[in-house]
Amino acid sequence: MELVAFCLPESGCHVHDGIFTAPYSGVYLFSWTNSDWLETELLVDGQRKGYVSVDSSDTDITPGTGVVLTHVNRGEHVFVRKIDGGSCPLTRYIVRNSFTGIWLA
């Protein structure tokens, strides 16, 4: 198993648009976390591979995390897209949205 640092451009990460381009074909583990009132999906080359729905109010913090294990071909694009959701005003900014990927083989 090899850990690929997705924040480096040579590893497929594009920090300006959040789209990951797979540098290798193989099995990847992706994880993403949302907060606020938000629905998101993980797309691999335009096909939904995962979905997360989070419902928070302005007095609580309710994060939601999606985990997807899937095969990705070299050059395919992977990203998290917002489907629906507003922006519940959280009074504390403890939870941050995140996106992580690990190439397994």
Taking only the tens place, the pLDDT of each residue in 9-47 is 455 555 556 788 999 999 999 998 877 777 889 999 999
HSE (CB half, 13 Å, CA atoms) of 55?
0
d(CA 63, CA 33): 7
pTM score, two decimals? 0.75
- For residue range 53-102, list pLDDT tens digits in order: 887 666 666 778 899 999 999 999 999 888 876 555 554 555 566 778 88
If we measure between CA atoms, which residue out of 2, 70, 80 comes closest to residue 11?
2
